[in-house]
Amino acid sequence: MRRFRSRSGRVGLVGFVFILLVAVTAPLLAPHDPQEQAIVYRLRPPAWMTQGSSEFVLGTDQLGRDTLSRLIYGARISLLVGGAAVLGAGVVGVLLGLIAGYFGGRIDYAISTLINAAWSFPFILLALIIVAVLGSSVTNLIIALIATSWASFARIVRGEVISLRDREYIDAARALGAPVVLIIAKHILPNVLSSILVMASIEFARAILRESFLSFLGLGVPPSVPSWGGMLSEGRSYIFSHWWLVTLPGIAIFVTSLSINLLGDGLRDAFDPRLRR
C-alpha cells in the first residue's frame, strides 16, 4: 500500500488501534467487574464532581455498577458485533456483486433486483423485524446487521466488475482457457479490493451506530452484557438528574465511529489519490 499520508487518516488509525487494545485488554484495564452490583454505591457521580470518589472514576449506574469498567467492556461488544457484521456482509455482498457483474444478463437482473429491494427496505425496519422475530441475542443482532449492509458491498463490487470484465487482459485470460473461478479470483478480485476495504470501513462505523441503537431499544444484546447502547438505554431514565449516564457511552460510540470513518477516509486517499479533494 502507498504511504498513509493524510493526517486525519493517521489520527483515525491511532484511535482505532487504541479502542481495539482497550477491548482486547479489558480484563486487565477495568478497575471493577462490569457486572458487579453494589446498591450502596448506586448513582455515584464521576470523580471530578462533588460527592465523586476516585474509586469510581466515572461514577456508577443505578445498580451500583462501575461506569468506567462497563465502558471498557462495552468496546468488546461494539467491535465484535460491528466486525462480525462487516465480515459477513462483505462475504455475501462481494460474492453476489462478483457474480452479478461478471455474468450479467438474467443473473444480473435477479441480483440487482435483490440489491435494490434491500436498498429500498429502510434498514432500521428490517433490523427491527429480524431482531423482533429471532429474539435478541448477539448472533441475531449480527444477522440483522448483515441483512442491512450486504447490498452496499454488492452494489459497488457489481459496478466495478462491469467496468473490468471487458478489459483486454480479461479477454486474454478467457482466450487462454482460464476457468471462470480463476479469472474472477486472480484477475478481477484484486482490482476491486481497495473499494471493498473502503466500503468495509464505512459499513463498520455504520454497524456500530446501528448496533447501539438496537441495544438502546432493548433489541440488541441482553441487558446483563455491558454494551454502550444498553448503557444509554438504562441511563435514559436518569436524564433529568444524572446526565453523565447517557453522555459517557455516547461519547464512546462517537469516538469509535469517528476513528473508523477517519481511517476509512485515509485508506481511500492512500488507494486513490484522485478522490482526494
Least distance (Å) between residue 25 CB and another protein: 24
CB of 186 or CB of 236, closer to another protein: 236
The answer to whether the CB of 232 falls within 8 A of the CB of 222 is no
Nearest residue to 260 via CA among 196, 190, 209, 192: 209
Candidate list 261, 263, 266, 267; residue touching another protein; CB under 8 A: 261
CA distance 114 to 112: 5
Candidate list 14, 17, 117, 182; residue touching another protein; CB under 8 A: 117
Candidate list 25, 186, 243, 272; residue touching another protein; CB under 8 A: 243
Grid cell in block for residue 241: 438528574
CA distance 82 to 76: 10
Could you say whether residue 258 binds another protein (CB under 8 A)? yes
Could you say whether residue 204 binds another protein (CB under 8 A)? no
CB of 183 or CB of 207, closer to another protein: 207
Binding mask 119-158 for another protein (x = CB under 8 A): xxxxxxx--xxx-xxx------------------------
CA distance 96 to 91: 9
Binding mask 205-224 for another protein (x = CB under 8 A): x---x--xx--xx-x-----
Grid cell in block for residue 67: 461506569
Q: Tell me the three state secondary structure of residue 38.
A: coil
Backbone angles phi, psi at 38, to 5 degrees: -145, 95
Candidate list 227, 257, 269, 270; residue touching another protein; CB under 8 A: 257
Backbone angles phi, psi at 37, to 5 degrees: -100, 140
Least distance (Å) between residue 27 CB and another protein: 26
How many helices (H) and strands (E) would you count in the chain? Answer: 11, 0
What's the gap between Cα 229 and its chain centre? 13
Chain residues in the site for another protein (CB under 8 A): 8, 113-114, 116-117, 119-125, 128-130, 132-134, 205, 209, 212-213, 216-217, 219, 232, 236, 239-240, 243, 246-247, 249-250, 253-254, 257-258, 260-262, 265, 277
